[in-house]
Amino acid sequence: MSVGFIGAGQVAHALVRGFTAAGVIASHKITASSPDTDLPTVQGLRKLGVHFTTSNKETVNKSDVLFLAVKPHIIPFVLDEIGPDIEDRHLIVSCAAGVTINSIEKKLLQYRANPKVMRCMTNTPVVVREGATVYATGTHAEVEDGKLLKQLMASVGFCTEVEEDLIDAVTGLSGSGPAYAFTAADALADGGVKMGLPRRLAERVGAQAMLGAARMLLDSEEHPAMFKDKVCTPGGATIHAMHVLESGGFRSLLINAVEASCSRAKELQKLKS
C-alpha cells in the first residue's frame, strides 16, 4: 500500500513523521507534492526518505491512499487538477478544516462515478504519535477503507470514526487544543520564573505536569474533578490557586475558546459554499 500527500506543509510533515516513527508504512512508499519547494517542511520530508515532487499528478499515480493536506481554499483547485487521474483504487482523505465531504464528492463526480472520500480532523501531536484524530466516511467509501484509515491514524495516536457534523466541534477542541496547551505551558513557565525558577526548568516541569495529568486522565474512567480533589489538600497551596483560577474565569475561557474555534470552522465552511 502506498500513501501520497497533496501538500507538503505542517500536516503532511507531521503525519509522515508519525507514520514512519510508528513503522506503519515505509518512507519510500510515501510521495508528497507541492509547487513550493522552499517550504522548510519539504526539507524535513526529504530527510525522512519521502519521494518529493512538484507534480500532484505524480503523487496521485504513485498512491493508493491520498491525503489532501493543503489549505482549505486550495482544495477546489487541487480537485480539478487531479480529478481526471483518480482511479477506482484511490481513497481520498481530506484533512482540510471546514471542507465538507459533500463538496469534495461533488467536484470528483465530474470525473468519476464513485469517488471514495473520507474526511479527517487530526492534530499536530501526531508527530510524537499522540495525535487525536476523528474521521467521517463519505458516500462511496467502504468499510475496509475506514479500517485502513483507522489503522494508519491509530498508529499516531487516538483515532475514532464520527458523524461528519461533529468534526467542527473536534476542530475546536483537539484540533486547536494543542495551541491552548502550548499557551498554558508558556504561561505556567512564566509563573515559575516569576517565583524564581530558571526558565528551562520551569518549562520542563510545567509541561511534564500537563503530560502527567493528561496521562492520568486517559488511563482512568474517573471524572477529572475527582483527580483535582485528590490534589487539593484542605487549606493548602493548590486549593488557593484553584480559587484564583476560578476567579479569573478559567473554565469559561476554555469553553469560550473551544466554541470560538468551532464557530470559525463552521463559518469558514460557509464561506466556501
255 binds other proteins (CB under 8 A): yes
State the burial class of residue 12 (Cβ atoms within 10 Å of its Cβ: 0-12, 13-18, 19+). Answer: buried
Classified as helix, coil or strand, 219 is: coil
Residue 159 has phi, psi (to 5 degrees) of: -145, 135
- Identify which range of 101-109, 134-142, 190-198, 221-229 contacts other proteins by CB under 8 A: 221-229
230 binds other proteins (CB under 8 A): no
Q: Nearest CA to 167 among 68, 266, 73?
A: 266
- Minimum Å gap between C-beta 128 and other proteins is 29
- Minimum Å gap between C-beta 242 and other proteins is 8
160 binds other proteins (CB under 8 A): no
Give 106 or 251: the residue with its C-beta nearer to other proteins. 251
Give 36 or 222: the residue with its C-beta nearer to other proteins. 222
Give 128 or 166: the residue with its C-beta nearer to other proteins. 166
In the DSSP assignment, the letter for residue 53 is: E
Rule CB under 8 A: choose which of 40, 84, 191, 224 binds other proteins: 224
Which segments of 2-124 does DSSP mark as H helices, in order?
Answer: 10-22, 40-47, 56-62, 75-82, 101-109
- Number of alpha helices (DSSP H) and beta strands (DSSP E) in the chain: 12, 8
- Minimum Å gap between C-beta 167 and other proteins is 14
How many chain residues touch other proteins (CB under 8 A)? 14
- Identify which range of 44-52, 68-76, 177-185, 218-226 contacts other proteins by CB under 8 A: 218-226
**Cell (9 digits) for 147:** 479500517
What is the rounded distance in angstroms from the CA atom of residue 137 to the CA atom of residue 95? Answer: 13
Rule CB under 8 A: choose which of 198, 243, 263, 267 binds other proteins: 243
What is the rounded distance in angstroms from the CA atom of residue 116 to the CA atom of residue 137? Answer: 9
236 binds other proteins (CB under 8 A): no
CB of 18 closer than 8 Å to CB of 157: yes
Q: Nearest CA to 65 among 2, 153, 144, 151?
A: 2
Rule CB under 8 A: choose which of 36, 80, 142, 229 binds other proteins: 229
Interface ranges with other proteins (CB under 8 A):
223-226, 229, 243, 246-249, 251-252, 255-256
